[in-house]
Amino acid sequence: MERTLVLVKPDGVQRGLIGEIIIRLERRGFRLVGMKFLQMSEGLAQKHYGEHEGKDFYPGLIAYITSGPVVAMVWEGDQAISLVRKIMGETKPSASPPGSIRGDFAIDVRRNIVHGSAKESDADREINLFFRPDELVNWSRDVDRWVFSGE
């Protein structure tokens, strides 16, 4: 099982899309293991998006992600990292197919509604930035055997 960090970004929160995003991840079969509502500090934003430091869009990215509250969540399941990225769509909403979150709700790459970890090392690092280990809940659902075959 993998764990991935998902953010409902400030535009997603402002536009009332928190529930819309949660329902898509829940409906697919992923399991929520952590959730908090917070406004990211500049320091947290810089750590989270450290890989983009120096790029022309970086100052705007930090201003955007700290501009209002976000929902930070950890979701768990087989192939959670890559499949959550597929549910989100492409970085550019204009390249995202209808049916994906960005393809259904966004237009501008600077206002693309959600974040999902890109790979396992990012997921581990990002989850640790937002959550202490005791803030994540290890649990199982009765329905898990109907979602995961265990293979």
Ligand X SMILES: Nc1ncnc2c1ncn2[C@@H]1O[C@H](COP(=O)(O)OP(=O)(O)OP(=O)(O)O)[C@@H](O)[C@H]1O
**Catalytic center residues:** 115
Site string for ligand X, 50-79 (x = CB under 6 A): --x----x---x------------------
For residues 92 and 15, the answer to whether their CB atoms sit within 8 Å is: no
Rounded Cα–Cα distance for residues 145 and 94 (Å): 37
In the bound state with ligand X, the residue whose beta carbon lies nearer, of 33 and 114, is 114
Q: Give the Å distances, CA to CA, from 126 to 33, 74, 94, 144.
A: 14, 10, 26, 25
Site string for Mg ion, 111-150 (x = CB under 5 A): -------x--------------------------------
* Number of residues lying near Mg ion (CB under 5 A): 1
| Contacted entry of Mg ion, ligand X, none for residue 61, CB cut-off 5 to 8 Å set by kind | ligand X
In the bound state with Mg ion, the residue whose beta carbon lies nearer, of 22 and 118, is 118
